[in-house]
Structure 1
Amino acid sequence: MNGAARFRQMIREQRRRQGGRLALAAAAGATVSAAAVLLLGLSGWFITGAALAGVAGGTAIGAFNYLLPSAAIRFLAIARTGARYIERVSGHAAALKALARLRPALFDGLAAAPPARAQALSSGEASARMIQDVDAVQTLFVRLSTPWAAGAGGIIAIALAGLAGPAAAATVAAGTGLAVLGALVIGRRAADPAGRRVQVATGRFKDRFSALQAAAPELRAYGLESWAVEQIAAEARTLDRRTIDAAAAAGWMNTWQGAVTGATVVGVVLLSRTVPLPLVVLAALAAVTGIEAAGAVVASFRQSGAAAEAVGRLGDLLDNPVPDTGTVPSGDAITLSELDLTLAAGARLAVTGPSGAGKTTLIERLMALRAPVAGELALGGVDLAGAEVRAVRTRFAYAAQDVRLLAGSVRDNLALARVDAAESDLWAALETADLADRVRAMPAGLDTPLGDNGERLSGGERRRLGLARACLRPAAWLVLDEPTEGLDAATEARVLERLDQWLATTGQGLILVSHRPAPVALCDQVLAVTGRDADGRLTMNRNPARVAA
């Protein structure tokens, strides 16, 4: 089953879960349409009948019953308002509850995707899919009540028009059908493609904006702000054009509906010349509201293209997931098969080598963040090429060279490693990273917001917060990629001293990538990565010599 099929199955499951709310929304929608048609038709009949009675004189006025119609009109107005409220609340509650379950499932699917696929998706594109595309899917729940509303409105409209004669009823039925059929044709030919292009353009715009925003300091330093603005503006213009195309398609659908409505009303009036005028007015207004009720279906046609594209784009996140099959490692010992090197739990290994040799690739393969190479690495006696991915990842706590932070508070960023960590544990991790004093000096301490990707912190402070977060994770191995890069010598010394104490206390093993002598000195063994062979395998050698100061 491909990703799109899996996502459609998830939507069907959520529809079943929200069946009660959706059924209530459908019943309320049908009530709204029926009440609206009856209200307008009865009002037209009542006003016209009252006017004719007034013209006819006192006798006709005395015989005219105005109490019952006026009471019915008030009842229908109240019923329509109440049913509309129930429809909106029930329908949107069902949609929002469904999306609250779909978004985590999609995120889990993205996290479980093959490493090459997950890493190829930019943050901007991922954001567009998780926000705009999921919002577009919302219509697949909200609009489920529209066929019921349209059907109830159409039936009542045809029945009321039938009071003016079979020809009037047939005209209303034909007009309603033409309105829906024409809208369907326009939707398929214009609205659907336009809606799909809007979703794609939104993703491209957010992707470009996110990439340039991340490089904002460099762009300012090189005086490229104008170039960046033009790049973003170009994507924005494309998105605007796509949005205009979608609006134009919606306009043509509305134009068709208005033209059919006008023709239907004229037809009803011409075919009802022999019946009393109040019934003619009733039939004409019933035609208007009946076709208007069908407009709910027309509106859903406008959104179907965007929803279909969103389903496909979100299905991509679920495509080719990493299987949960595989062997679960029975221990935490790491083996580098090529070098016949085994690291017992609690060991410390430094990984060195020239830039681009593959140091980060090695540790990402080890943590199952990249596709493993058969026979290269083993964990707990299990070759990583055949190990269960989720079981492998739980053994490692990772502080990457490129630290990614949430836009929330210090506490929020630390909670990524351990949600249930006590406050004392948070401060202990910050002390290890030599960041506790800095956080205490912040206006709200642990609850101080850090801005987008930690923009309120310096580069060194962001790196140390990433280190603190990794220390919080209860894992057998602590993996650090250039943890002291960019730190001054005094700060580096404090961080390494406290890290040494942390490892001695917790018994965690350490795998450290660095080209600096001070961090390497923490480790018992040194591994030099020298490059890659023709098959993509990393070439390594055990290097007992320390990095020269």
Structure 2
Amino acid sequence: MTGTLFRLLAIAAPTKALPALLAGVLAAASGIALIGTAAWIIASAALQPPLSALALAITLVRACGIGRAVFRYLDRLLSHRLAFACYENLQQATYRRSAAAIPLRAGNAREGEFLHDLLTGCETLRNFYLRTVPQPLIAGILTAVTCAALAPLCPWGVPLIIALYLLHLVLPHLLHETDLRTESTAYREVLLDLLDGRAELAAAGTLTQAQGQLDTAAEDFQQKQSHKRTKRERLFTLLDVLRVAVWIALIALLTPYAADGVLSGVQYAVWVLVLEAVLSEYRPLPAASLGTVEAVQAAENILPSAPCAALNPAHTDTEYSAEEQAPLIEAYHLSFGYHADVPILRDLSFRIHRGEHTAIIGESGAGKTTLASLLLRLWEPDCGTLSYNGVPHTQLSPDGTRTLFGASLQGSWLFSTSTRDNFLRLHENMDEAHIWQALETAQLADVVRALPAGLDEPLGANAARLSGGQRSRLLTALALAAEADLLLLDEPTAGLDAARGERLIAAVLETLDARGGTLIVITHDLPLLDRMKQVIEL
């Protein structure tokens, strides 16, 4: 927990955090000084003090009132600037983590947790910088100053104030609250399942039953939150009573000093109200203490983990002769499974050299698309090593690896705008000639020309206005346009007749051979294998 707190605090730059903290301390001190000065005026007015003293006190009241407003404004301004700057960094960390983890090995099982992190986790950490950190520090500084002033006068009051301060920080931890992420996950997963499958549920006539399950999950979540709020309110009330009790005890401890003349009546009145003002600064502490736990839990899920050692050492003992070029891809004893007890690939080794067009075949569920995802570093292997141009994957970033590929996988999404827009989103500076060249190779140019607006014709959600075969060819064209060393296609001839599929593969291979590219194709199209130089059967 301590290490996570230090990581959170390290996100906030000291040059921004210290001015915000100083403004908060000065705002609270101005408020306390305002109350103390007002108490002096009220208590001493009947004693007819010199007008100069009254004028000075009145001026001080005005100065403290203005100072409290000014410093409170600076506190809000600086602390919010700091919090939202940190909030931006945390959101970016969340999206980077999501991009690295998606697609999830466990499917939709953890989508509720991701949704919580995106909607609630970052907001919790933003509040950490707004409410969790400043309040204990401000109250601690005021406590230290008050105890230093009170110690020569009433030594027994010092431990009472310190104990009260510590109780406000420690007692909330006795609630042993469940992580909000855990509590909300069940509800969010039911919600996401219902959203994903609402069309099928409606068709089956079970949508109402599914909505009932969602209502039950929501009620259970609300009951847990209501129970948590009740426990918090009881604790906060107990601390309010304890705070009043300590204040009364401090008044009782000061009374003998006033009776003995050590304190004048005016000084006694000032101390009574100043102590009440100082103790009132403890009210936000229980919520801040609980916020620390919530922030640590959120940070452990959102902040990137420290890099750990690889489970398997990189395979670097392969040597290539001067005549033998390092393969574009080499898999060495590769193993992977979505669940530890259900391996998909086991001890798989192969090489793909430049120009060595390769087909990956196998029964449904044999792991063909899974292998493609491993090659693209969407997932990392459980065991073994993947090398790219002789460099182990452990020494390459996933983004760096993906620049080697133009890829089209099953389930890829297309934007609803136009064919041109889909190309430009992936290849920002591509000109129209290159777009038509990719469409010609993918055997889709005639289809696009026949559209009313050509390249600028809207395609509908996920290219719904195209047939399955046309949509597959558009994905092939988008992958070809990358002009990468490796072209990875998943069932590119699915939905095409034999003649069109033959023309597509012939055009793709001709294009790749002309630019020195290499094709990796996942296929069930057995005649296509005659054109391949290597076949990997899973």
Q: What band does the TM-score fall into relative to the shorter chain?
A: 0.7 to 0.9
Deviation (angstroms), 1:293: 1.6
CA contact (8 A) 1:264 1:287 kept: no
CA contact (8 A) 2:356 2:534 kept: no
Out of 512, 526, 529, the position equivalent to 2:521 is 512
The yes-or-no answer on 1:198 pairing with 2:186 is no
The yes-or-no answer on 1:82 pairing with 2:70 is yes
- Matched with 2:139 is 150
- The letter of the residue matching 1:98 is C
CA distance in 2, matches of 1:463, 1:184: 60
CA distance in 1, matches of 2:418, 2:24: 43
Greater shift, 319-328 or 226-235, is seen at 319-328
Deviation (angstroms), 1:357: 2.6
Q: Which has the higher contact order (CA 8 A, sep 6+)?
A: 1
Secondary structure class of the residue paired with 1:294: coil
- Matched with 1:544 is none
CA distance in 2, matches of 1:300, 1:366: 46
The yes-or-no answer on 1:371 pairing with 2:381 is yes
Q: 1:387 to 1:297 in 2, by over 3 A?
A: closer
- The letter of the residue matching 1:82 is V
Structure 1 unmatched runs, 5+? 54-59, 530-537, 539-549
Tell me the TM-score normalized by structure 1: 0.71
Out of 489, 494, 497, the position equivalent to 1:480 is 489
The yes-or-no answer on 1:261 pairing with 2:256 is no
CA distance in 1, matches of 2:94, 2:6: 13
- Matched with 2:408 is 399
- 1:62-101 matches, within 5 Å, as 63=51, 66-101=54-89
Cα deviation code 1:23-74 (max 9, x no counterpart): 1112112112111111223234434555x47xxxxxx499585433232222
Greater shift, 362-371 or 112-121, is seen at 112-121
Secondary structure class of the residue paired with 1:266: helix
Secondary structure class of the residue paired with 2:283: helix
The yes-or-no answer on 1:32 pairing with 2:27 is yes
CA distance in 2, matches of 1:150, 1:249: 24
Out of 184, 203, 209, the position equivalent to 2:191 is 209
Deviation (angstroms), 1:471: 4.1
Q: 1:341 to 1:166 in 2, by over 3 A?
A: closer
CA distance in 2, matches of 1:410, 1:246: 52
- Matched with 1:252 is 234
- Matched with 2:172 is 187
Out of 244, 266, 279, the position equivalent to 1:291 is 279
Secondary structure class of the residue paired with 1:295: coil
Structure 2 unmatched runs, 5+? 319-324, 333-346
CA contact (8 A) 2:406 2:488 kept: yes
Cα deviation code 1:399-442 (max 9, x no counterpart): 22122579999999868755x54575995698577597899969
Cα deviation code 1:118-138 (max 9, x no counterpart): 878734423333443333333
CA distance in 2, matches of 1:488, 1:308: 57
* Residues paired across the two proteins, number: 503
Secondary structure class of the residue paired with 1:122: helix
Secondary structure class of the residue paired with 1:511: strand
CA distance in 1, matches of 2:357, 2:35: 81
- Matched with 1:14 is 11
CA contact (8 A) 1:346 1:477 kept: no
Secondary structure class of the residue paired with 1:398: strand
Deviation (angstroms), 1:296: 3.8
CA distance in 2, matches of 1:214, 1:252: 41
Q: 1:36 to 1:174 in 2, by over 3 A?
A: farther
- Matched with 1:351 is 360
Secondary structure class of the residue paired with 1:287: helix
The yes-or-no answer on 1:127 pairing with 2:109 is no
CA contact (8 A) 2:112 2:188 kept: yes
Deviation (angstroms), 1:292: 1.9
- Matched with 1:545 is none
CA contact (8 A) 1:482 1:512 kept: yes
- Matched with 1:138 is 126
- Matched with 2:294 is 306
CA distance in 2, matches of 1:408, 1:152: 59
Q: 1:88 to 1:471 in 2, by over 3 A?
A: farther
- The letter of the residue matching 1:79 is G
- The letter of the residue matching 1:398 is A
CA distance in 1, matches of 2:100, 2:83: 25
Tell me the TM-score normalized by structure 2: 0.72
Secondary structure class of the residue paired with 2:66: helix
Cα deviation code 1:272-310 (max 9, x no counterpart): 474666545433332222112233433311212212222
CA distance in 1, matches of 2:348, 2:55: 97
- 1:421-440 matches, within 5 Å, as 421-422=429-430, 431=439
